[in-house]
Structure 1
Amino acid sequence: MELPLHLAWSGLRAFDLDRPRLRMGLYRIVLTEGMREDLIRYLDPGLLVEQWPVLRTLVGPAVRSVWESAFGELATAAQA
């Protein structure tokens, strides 16, 4: 998957989603840089919940807090 320049403006833009490390990188970029439309287009809700315990360590505390406050399932996944 290739991210547009407004998301991946510096560095890697193409991500092999079969590679967990690259998939996490894509999700981190979209979570921190994305607008609503980007979140809908590039994030899979089930995969986000599944990967959240690790992914939450890759984003800053403000991003983590906003997402866990808005989506209880992420807060629950973080405690698992």
Structure 2
Amino acid sequence: MVLSSTGPAPSAAEVLHARYAGRLPVSLEKLAGPEHGVVELPLHVSWSGLRAYDLDRPGVRMGFYRTVLAEGQHEDLVTLLNRDLLLAQWPILRTLISKHVWQVWEEAFPELATAASVAA
């Protein structure tokens, strides 16, 4: 009988963590997305439902950020998300996204964790 030397398969949490971590920008300063106006998400980010979001409407903007954080690839994150808006919304936004997503972002960018703790 031959046993695998690769060890146990990674858990679902480990797979998700690696997936989201691999998409991150180098720094929050790389997030150069728009601050205002209507933005249409590409089909690979939003394949059903709402695709056009008015960033001047706070509730709609929150849904936009939630979708991009969950479904966007690296290039989507840097071109669609805006650093200042992300920081401002983070305390509430982190409660609307999966634990895997917010943990990866807060591990990589401590200023997000600080923003969340200051607002608490």
TM-score range, shorter chain: over 0.9
Aligned counterparts, 1:1-80, within 5 A: 1-80=39-118
Task: Normalising by structure 1, report the TM-score.
Answer: 0.97
Q: Which amino acid aligns with 1:62?
A: H
User: How many angstroms does 1:78 deviate by?
Assistant: 0.7
Structure 2 gaps, min length 5: 1-38
Give, in whole Å, the separation in 1 of the partners of 2:99 and 2:62.
Answer: 17
Write out the 4+ residue segments of structure 1 that deviate beyond 4 Å after TM superposition: none
User: How many angstroms does 1:10 deviate by?
Assistant: 1.5
Task: Normalising by structure 2, report the TM-score.
Answer: 0.65
Query: Which of structures 1 and 2 has the larger relative contact order (alpha carbons within 8 angstroms, sep 6+)?
Result: 2
Give the total of aligned pairs: 80
Percent identical pairs in the alignment equals 62
Higher strand share goes to which structure?
A: 2
User: How many angstroms does 1:51 deviate by?
Assistant: 0.6
- What is the root-mean-square deviation of aligned Cα atoms in Å? 0.6
User: How many angstroms does 1:68 deviate by?
Assistant: 0.5
The higher radius of gyration belongs to: 2
> Could you say what secondary structure the match of 1:31 adopts?
helix
